Chain A
Amino acid sequence: MKTSFTVNGSPFSIDLDPRVTLLDALRDHLNLTGSKKGCDHGQCGACTVLVDGRRINACLSLAVMHDGDEITTVEGLSEDGRSPLQSAFVRHDGMQCGYCTPGQLCSATAVFREIAEGWPSHVSETLDGPYALTREELAERMSGNICRCSCYPGINAAILETAEEDAGYAEAAE
């Protein structure tokens, strides 16, 4: 089935079996292998990508259902792989094997936006916001991304530091 979508700003039109997940379309048809296949069942978050700015598990979505969508993978988060968040991951040693890292980066990017839009979380004390990205909020909001090397101290430090330094995020959250 002919399917067209934009990935990292570039338009693609590909012919796909409807069984192909968005993750497999990205990796096997577009050779964008940054997004990783961990569990392939939505439990680990390694496949997290952004669709129209929102994070989803690309493994649990059929590619044909994304006709017309704008998709961002880890390859599209920055031109040189050195966005403030990516650089913070390097600085804080936010990975060991690195397999979960693309998903962590995409997920955290979406968390910044969700905080800025005033979305509450399970651990938020009130439902009316606004919310700050505390350590507790971060742990809850990133619970869909597992790191089996357990590099959470570095991952958390990198995300929290980026959140603090991102003026746009802070302003929007006010």
Chain B
Amino acid sequence: MKPFDYQRPDTLSGAHGAARDGATFIAGGTNLIDLMKLEVMAPDTLIDISRLGLDRIVPHGDGLHVGATVTNSDLAADMRIRRDYPVLARALLAGASGQLRNKATTGGNLLQRTRCPYFYDTATPCNKRSPGSGCAALGGEMRNHAVLGTSEHCVALHPSDMAVAMRALDVTVEVEGADGTRSETALDDFYRLPGDRPDQETTLDAGDLITGVILPAPFGGRQTYRKVRDRASYAFALVSVAATVRMENDRISNVALAFGGIGTRPWRDPDVEDLLTGETPTTALFEKAGDILMKDAVLREGLEFKDTLVRRLLTATLTEMTQ
């Protein structure tokens, strides 16, 4: 690990004051410390934000404000989350291990880096790690890679389960800039597509600090998170879906579907939801939804299985939820 300065401010303004070029915020550290050990990331300064009081879940309008350093464990165990946002609780519980969820935080989970093995291997080129160096995944071994939103520069997958559920729930990310200005960004606008700058993963500016996530009023209806992976527990998704559905007179009146394991960011396609809304649920309809979801997919060698897998997951999930 490269040497770094460590600072632990106890106020937000202290955190902003400590932030400067090259400074990186650390909360749970479960991803960052791993990457620092491998020297994939080598910040000059670490600013510990774990003692800024951002670890509370409080009412916010008709919804909830989840502080940036609320752990994945605490969020999943919170009775309001379990009752009103079960898709989020389920997604959190499907991710990582008990030990990791106890450290991993809400803000950190949103910002976790891809698990593309070439990103982790500093002996290989990677446009995300070292812009312009090339992509070893293209032409290399591919399995945990994206089929939607990719570019010729990067096929890295966003690995989060939590963020997939949050995308289905239409959450807003609360950010405080280095000058103390607060802003809110819909999660739909938070992640960038890789394009020719896969190193720029979000719309955050240098010095921006996520202070929390705002959950809108509970959606109600039926909610589920289904994840398919290589083993039954403690593995990243091959494909996953977060689904919220409301039925009215045996028709789908409202539906949100977000997908993990297929996109360079937590994936949601409004055309899929438009197709389903107002319709009577049938297998043919769900299969058509799969066609729309995957119409722009680029199935590179080794990733062909995701096409079949995500279509079947979509059909199985919607069949179960609309019965």
Contacts and interface: CB of A to CB of B under 8 A. Distances in A.
A159 interface: no
A127 B82 contact: yes
Interface string B11-40: 000000000000000100110011001000
B224 to A, nearest CB: 11
Most chain B CB atoms below 10 A, which of A17, A122, A128: A122
Given A127-B82, A144-B97, A61 B33 contact: yes
B29 A42 contact: no
B290 to A, nearest CB: 25
A140 B93 CA distance: 10
A42 B1 contact: no
Contact of B34 (A60, A107, A114, A117): A60
Contact of A65 (B29, B97, B232): B29
Most chain B CB atoms below 10 A, which of A21, A111, A120, A121: A120
Contacts of A141: 98
Contact of B37 (A40, A56, A110, A118): A40
B83 to A, nearest CB: 8
A54 B102 contact: yes
A160 B83 CA distance: 29
A48 B103 contact: no
Nearest to A45: B99
B81 to A, nearest CB: 9
A1 interface: yes
A119 B77 CA distance: 6
Contacts of A142: 98
Contact of B48 (A42, A55, A65, A144): A65
A111 B98 contact: yes
A61 B29 contact: yes
A62 interface: yes
A139 B77 contact: no
Given A61-B29, A127-B82, A120 B76 contact: yes
B172 interface: no
B99 A144 contact: yes
Contacts of A81: none
Interface string A105-125: 001001100100111111010
A126 to B, nearest CB: 9
B305 interface: no
Nearest to B86: A127
B4 A18 contact: yes
A140 B6 contact: no
B77 A122 contact: no
Nearest to B30: A60
Given A18-B46, A119-B73, A143-B233, 12 more contacts: A40-B37, A42-B34, A42-B99, A56-B99, A56-B103, A119-B77, A121-B93, A127-B82, A128-B83, A139-B232, A140-B233, A143-B97
17 contacts: A18-B46, A19-B4, A42-B34, A54-B102, A55-B98, A56-B99, A56-B102, A60-B33, A61-B103, A62-B26, A65-B50, A119-B76, A121-B93, A127-B83, A127-B89, A142-B98, A143-B97
User: Shortest 7 CB-CB distances between A and B: which pairs?
Assistant: A144-B97, A143-B233, A18-B6, A127-B82, A143-B234, A122-B93, A54-B102
